[in-house]
Structure 1
């Protein structure tokens, strides 16, 4: 079975009720988010304004010759990331990319979207719902835990509860949430928020206005939930993050309509690289193409630009962690049918070769690719997989019908904060990735001088080997829902294994 497709990698969302007089009576808005209900978008016409990336030789900036050629082709430079040789351009010339590709010094160029600037409005998420106290009735406060922690089955699943007895992580470590924005006023996030490493990158150019990294009331709560999973403070309020002693920043790259475009993602990685970030979490794919094929000149330019940006961040010391996706795709298969691209105008079925067409940044070199597990510790029904593609696994939740947690937890989904001071459940590889980002932050806390490469090596070496689930019939209907290939120590469902937070702070 597959989960609903979404730009931010959330698969399922179920509300959490207001509950339990002793522990939850003070919570202002304990809720969760409904599944995506994306509205159709109009097809972009020729000669409409689009955004482009023009990739040139890194380290030198665009030459006067290239600048003149961009202007002559009808382009206006928005910003230039000279460190990596990526220029962000706006143009209404339908032939802009084809024209600029012929210019000496231009290595690749392509449109970052198929919808005109700005992207047409969509409904990204449903309205949060508040349920009754009965949904979490019977959950009792536990000494030494935040009040909602008994509902977080995902923490003991990676031994984070035991890890917290040893270390909560270092205040010198920052994890950047490259996402839909982070509500830094939330009581579970405010104590650990790193304002200096936060920014709005939606246009492709950094906006450092105070609070620009926050989502508006109309935007997805996705990034706030992710931030809390990573570094929710252990402060007697709400939930506890995997690494509750580290800092977290918000790098907003999603438009109001919910699109993660290349220029914003490039900006996000470069910002993280230059602001001392130790780990980036990337729970999204870069719109509008689920897979970007190298034989298409536009898509090749997008792969080129984000590869440069993610490698630059790693070179500067950041471990880049990304969600594998929620379609139950085998990313190591010979071919995949992608029905959702381009998702900002009119998508249509296309058959792609995943060895030549990349989900970015998930499948880029050096990126830690994370699959999701449920409350029973097996691959989530929706999680993408693939031998040699998946690096590691972590809790991302699943339908309680498939994987029911042990009491006192009541939901098979992942609990985290929502903007405005609430808490709620979500599920997806979007939720698995921040668990791994949190573990990476604990490793960096334990080994403060470790390079990004060493942190990744320790992350994989310390993971708990998890053998293939065979046969994998998650819904019990007698039909195989996915096939796992590989050995106990490395396979297509769990990679090197399930992330281990306890080893992260003790080895």
Structure 2
């Protein structure tokens, strides 16, 4: 099993083809932006040493005049400000900028969002897919009202989505925003359900609404497009079927070309979703460059503050925020974890953190639905993070076919999704589990259109299929436990409240 890349929440990427041909290849792991009000000043071109910062002030009053002056005096240029949550995005080449601004009255926190100078450098292309034979392509034929590739989607019956579709496909009045690497809305399985008005590019921290700005380039990861298809691929006789194929899906691009999800972009994404009628946000990433953000570090604390304000604002405006638990087999309820990858845009080192004080954001933020991954046997995926009191719910995210093989006619233990350029392919990770839960949340919202985010979450957990701890958890059969699950059947560290149930979402 390929070890999941830490930067975003997936393990394997295997493209599978187009409507006329399928393709198969492993892709290298590349990681994977939001809205706001006009800034008091317009940012100038950043020089080679400039970094990006967030400055958090008291919300609701704009940027105080004395803070504006202090930012300018410290060598900063305001890019934009989100006045409703009190987050200001600034560029500065002054290495002491954050330290200086933190001493300014009415500044709650401030910190640099990255270690690499603006802009982050590209990590290169994603590699070429391998086209399947004509015989394999011909085998994908629609039958019994299913889309041609649906028989390969073992994950749909695993959460009873196939049965749910007999009742309803979901409401077109519900929108799920994919905060990710971008979404190819020209894909034949995505185009029928795409919400243009709720889509944007937030990579710089300031919304870019140019047509198509939310799409990934050829050099960028297909991750967001895959996630979008898992949620809402149309039931249209083409390709595959999403968990909620009747709802709308939007693309909020927050990932740089190099695949970094920086704080200013994530803040922009949540605020944009909040102010454009989004019902559910899907967050299959962690906010770079720190896997865990320690609140006793003033820079990292500022990042936690900013993303917390933004995610809470989105929920206050009606969105259910769903996030991936991560792919490192960490026990997020442990007393300590060794983080070897942070900062991932600088010089990482092994650091021991307390996961109750050093947070994976947005995954561990208040109000966010934290999703663990299961494989085709319904067991925790080998890579999935876990932890009693941290995991809220589980859903199919795939696993190595050798560890958790699916029942025929499915052939891969990974998750089928849409890929840019009219293709389909397999990936695995908690990144793939999260859109299943986002899709079920969208079905709940379709069934209960006036439900608040709190009620949607309560129904999501109450309707989940209780899943007991896997004990012993020994997927490779070597006689040694690969992880230890704690808690009873109705709420435990592997599966939270249980496995998501799409049928209950549309019938209860």
State the TM-score, normalized to the length of structure 2.
0.94
1:166-185 to 2 correspondences below 5 Å:
166-185=167-186
2:292 is matched with: 291
2:243 is matched with: 242
2:273 is matched with: 272
> How far did 1:176 drift?
0.2
1:12 is matched with: 12
1:446 is matched with: 447
Q: 1:48 to 1:29 in 2, by over 3 A?
A: same
> How far did 1:142 drift?
1.8
Q: How many residues align?
A: 493
> How far did 1:211 drift?
0.3
Whole-Å separation in 1 of the counterparts to 2:96 and 2:11 = 37
The runs of at least 4 aligned residues of structure 1 exceeding 6 Å deviation read none
Kept in 2: contact 1:372–1:393 (CA 8 A): yes
Structure 1, residues 312-353: CA drift from partner, whole Å, max 9, x if none?
A: 000000000000000000000010001100001221111100
Kept in 1: contact 2:325–2:385 (CA 8 A): yes
> How far did 1:135 drift?
5.7
1:408-423 to 2 correspondences below 5 Å:
408-423=409-424
2:213 is matched with: 212
1:504 is matched with: 505
SS, match of residue 29 in structure 2? coil
2:393 is matched with: 392
> How far did 1:124 drift?
7.0
> How far did 1:47 drift?
8.9
1:34 is matched with: 27
SS, match of residue 195 in structure 1? coil
Whole-Å separation in 2 of the counterparts to 1:404 and 1:496 = 25
Whole-Å separation in 2 of the counterparts to 1:303 and 1:502 = 36
Whole-Å separation in 2 of the counterparts to 1:384 and 1:270 = 28
Kept in 2: contact 1:57–1:85 (CA 8 A): yes
Q: 1:446 to 1:33 in 2, by over 3 A?
A: farther
Structure 1, residues 245-285: CA drift from partner, whole Å, max 9, x if none?
A: 00000000000010000000000000000000000000000
> How far did 1:417 drift?
0.7
Kept in 2: contact 1:35–1:125 (CA 8 A): yes
1:143-162 to 2 correspondences below 5 Å:
143-162=144-163
1:66 is matched with: 67
Kept in 2: contact 1:238–1:423 (CA 8 A): yes
Whole-Å separation in 2 of the counterparts to 1:56 and 1:2 = 43
1:341-356 to 2 correspondences below 5 Å:
341-356=342-357
Whole-Å separation in 1 of the counterparts to 2:338 and 2:124 = 25
Q: 1:15 to 1:78 in 2, by over 3 A?
A: closer
Kept in 2: contact 1:32–1:423 (CA 8 A): no
Q: Which runs of 5+ in 1 are unaligned?
A: 19-23, 39-45
> How far did 1:476 drift?
1.4
SS, match of residue 435 in structure 1? helix
Kept in 2: contact 1:324–1:362 (CA 8 A): yes
Whole-Å separation in 1 of the counterparts to 2:152 and 2:179 = 26
> How far did 1:5 drift?
2.3
Q: Which runs of 5+ in 2 are unaligned?
A: 32-46
Whole-Å separation in 2 of the counterparts to 1:65 and 1:199 = 32
1:448-467 to 2 correspondences below 5 Å:
448-467=449-468
Whole-Å separation in 2 of the counterparts to 1:315 and 1:124 = 39
Kept in 2: contact 1:33–1:125 (CA 8 A): no
Kept in 2: contact 1:28–1:421 (CA 8 A): no
Structure 1, residues 54-82: CA drift from partner, whole Å, max 9, x if none?
A: 00001011110000000000000000000
Kept in 2: contact 1:413–1:426 (CA 8 A): yes
